[in-house]
Amino acid sequence: QVQLQESGPGLVKPSQTLSLTCSVSGASISSGDDYWNWIRQHPGKGLEWIGYIHHTGSTDYNPSLRSRVTISGDTSKNQFSLKVSSVTAADTAVYYCARAIMTAVTTLESWGQGTLVIVSS
């Protein structure tokens, strides 16, 4: 069973960089057809896909965030990370990491529990 766990600061100051890590167990981020995603949910709102990374190092990002977002992987630790630069209050959200299986179908089939990040001075 694949498990994902987000970690990182719960409070970030405006204009700084938000950094989160997702630790994966039960699957390897360095192989397979899986894509490793970040998704966020603003308080009381819907879900927003941020982007993903494949084990080849290939990434894709939501154009609305592309200029501020970087997703990277650390295969030695079986972790992947999210950085969002120049944050504002609008980046306050619960951030989820998730595994996408992209074969004949594409599903976000495993999720972390989510971590709340508040942007405030």
Partner 1 sequence: DIQMTQSPSSLSASVGDRVTITCQASQDIRYYLNWYQQKPGKAPKLLIYDASNLEIGVPSRFSGSGSGTDFTLTISSLQPEDIATYHCQQYDNLPWTFGQGTKVESK
Candidates 64, 72, 86, 88; binder of partner 1 (CB under 8 A) is 64
Closest by CA position to 5, among listed 85, 99, 102, 83? 99
Candidates 47, 72, 88, 118; binder of partner 1 (CB under 8 A) is 47
Minimum CB distance to partner 1, residue 37 (Å): 9
Q: Which runs of consecutive H residues, i.e. helices, occur in the chain? A: none
Count the alpha carbons within 13 Å of 73 in the hemisphere toward its beta carbon. Answer: 22
Closest by CA position to 84, among listed 53, 110, 119? 119
Candidates 3, 23, 59, 62; binder of partner 1 (CB under 8 A) is 62
Stretch that binds partner 1, among 15-23, 68-76, 81-89, 111-119 (CB under 8 A): 111-119
First to last CA, the chain: 39
Neighbours of 36 (CB within 10 A): 24
Residue span 81-100 as binding mask against partner 1, x where in contact by CB under 8 A, dash where not: ---------------x-x--
Contact residues: partner 1, CB under 8 A:
45-49, 60-64, 96, 98, 105-109, 111-114
